[in-house]
Structure 1
Amino acid sequence: MSEPDFATASTERTFGRRQIQAGHALMMVLSRPIPYPIEEVWSAISDPDSLERYVGRPEGDLRRGGSYELPDGTRGEILRCDPPRLLTVSVKRPGGHSAELEIHLTADNSRTVAELKYASVRAGFVLIDAKSGEWAAGPGWEFFLDSLIEFLGGTEPDEALGIIGWTSLEGDRRELYETRNAQWEGAKAHWDREHEAAPGPS
């Protein structure tokens, strides 16, 4: 099984609801094992020099209660920081979409289980919006974990993830993005059935 196939097969995808600063939000939950120790994973998601190499360098007051901004214009506040297990930030993308990202790390012998929760008050944020070309949260955050694992393994992308858009993906990466989007569509349909298709935020 290839690395992308393994990552797809070992990923858990589900949904929930969460109260964030912007209001009552739909939350996607993504869980995947990362084959590196928790201290290394924490450093890779919290150190600006590391983030610059696979996402984009955050600038600002990078501590709990401080603020950050990424090269693509995404900005927010650092809400919680509990090394090496929990990082929670607010997220506001160019155009005004408000969300909250939480990454929870759990040590599992020599590897780490990463649980990523992304909650937004914007309807339809999880899946592909072909008109906008904006990264869909579901497959988009999976690519974040791909890039994190590649970085930890000593491979750096040609371009930081935060700089490129999904419409620029080609070949196997484009196919993987669309496959993951279909898996998120299935997870959302299942969650809607379990919750009687409760209406999402508008």
Structure 2
Amino acid sequence: MDIVDEINAIHRRVGRAETPAGEGRTVLLRRSYDTSVHDLWDAVTNPERLPRWFAPVSGDFELGGRYQVQGNAGGEIIRCEPPRMFRLTWIFGEPVEGGFSEVEIRLSPADGADRTTLELEHVAVIDPQRWTEYGPGAVGVGWDLSLLGLGLYLGGTMIGDPDAWGESREAREFMTLSSNAWGAATVAGGEHPDAVAAMVANTTRFYAPAPPAGPNAP
């Protein structure tokens, strides 16, 4: 894949939003795919297709139903308007009293008969110390990886072993550029560049640590 093209295919925005639990932070990702609205809706909601690009997801796939992403977050489907949008709570681990975290997916026709734009917006109340340390890249890089996987899947290209790929030079390059892109979006959102530089460094170190030294290092 062309890593730079994949990074540039995603539009990113960082902002703030009022939530029932207080002021929250928002990350928004937008990317277009060469497929119809109905096919993209099926790709992002069908439990048989989700493992091919995202992860196994179990639960009740209906309004008010609860779901669980294997090894990741879970929650409740709180709004669903096929094939245009759905919103769900997104809770990792035990729920935090007074916490708030929701993800909304929106689909709309793009230019061309079989081209669709996907918007993913994640709104959450974030611990100030965690925000200062990592900024939006803490979740943004993970969502970038998800949209990358979706694009490869829809284009007929699959990553053979996701765990092995995650340790590869290609993956580290993608996650490093993703971290930098979220840093640029954070500066555009009004954060001071010096503070953002520290966020980017910490996020990059978390997702793409330096490989071990030695002749067999990837």
TM-score (norm 1): 0.79
SS of equivalent residue, structure 1 residue 136? helix
Q: CA deviation at 1:47?
A: 0.3
| Kept in 1: contact 2:3–2:173 (CA 8 A) | no
| Alignment match, 2:155 | 153
| Alignment match, 1:58 | 57
Q: Number of aligned residue pairs: give it.
A: 185
Question: Contact 1:90–1:101 (CA<8 Å) still a contact in 2?
Answer: yes
Tell me which of 113, 116, 119 is aligned to 1:112.
116
Q: Give the corresponding residue for 1:11.
A: 10
Q: Distance in 1 between matches of 2:143 and 2:173?
A: 16
- The gaps in structure 2 that reach 5 residues or longer are 196-218
Query: CA 1:51–1:150 in 2, change beyond 3 Å: closer, same or farther?
Result: same
CA shift for structure 1 position 156: 3.1
Query: Deviation string for 1:5-52 (max 9, x for gaps)?
Result: 222223211122234455431001111111222111110000000012
Write the deviation string for residues 132-157 of structure 1: whole angstroms up to 9, x where unpaired: xxx82112111111111111122333
Question: For 2:161 and 2:177, how far apart are their aligned partners in 1?
Answer: 22
Instruction: Report the equivalent of 2:188.
Output: 190
Normalised to the residue count of structure 2, the TM-score between the two structures is 0.74
Kindly indicate which of the two structures has a greater share of residues assigned to helix. Answer: 2
CA radius of gyration, larger in: 2
The Cα shift of 1:169 comes to 3.3
Which residue number corresponds to residue 43 of structure 2?
A: 44
Say if 1:128 and 1:80 are closer, same or farther in 2 by CA, change over 3 A. same
Name the structure 1 match of 2:178: 180
- Name the residue aligned to 1:200: none
Where structure 1 has 5 or more consecutive residues not aligned to the other structure, the ranges are 130-134, 198-202
Structure 1 residues 59, 81: CA separation in 2 closer, same or farther (over 3 Å shift)? same
- Structure 1 pair 122–64 and aligned structure 2 pair: CA distance change class (3 A): same
